[in-house]
């Protein structure tokens, strides 16, 4: 399973339910070098992986630093 190497937290907005929604075109880069482009409106929910990635966990960690 791959891990996230780069994600821009300012391209997402945290929702009251703990999910994150993409607010502008964003690229997620994995440690394996893969890039996933996400479009505005795509929502990532807590405890759910998408493409094998835990996007919410990474965004939560980055937003508290």
pLDDT at 19: 97
List the helix and strand counts (H, then E) for the chain.
Answer: 1, 6
The pTM is what? 0.89
The residues pairing with 29 across neighbouring beta strands, listed in sequence order, are 6, 35
Q: Which residue has the tokens 């630093």?
A: 65
Segment 27-55 shows an average pLDDT of 93
Residues 6+ apart with CB under 8 A from 13: 20, 21, 23
CB of 14 closer than 8 Å to CB of 63: yes
């Amino acid at each position: 399973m791959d891990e996230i190497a780069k994600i821009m937290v300012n391209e997402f907005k945290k929702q009251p339910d703990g999910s994150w929604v993409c607010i502008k075109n964003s690229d997620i880069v994995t440690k394996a070098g893969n890039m996933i482009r996400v479009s505005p409106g795509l929502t990532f929910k807590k405890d759910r992986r998408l493409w094998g990635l835990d996007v919410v966990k990474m965004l939560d960690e980055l937003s508290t630093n």
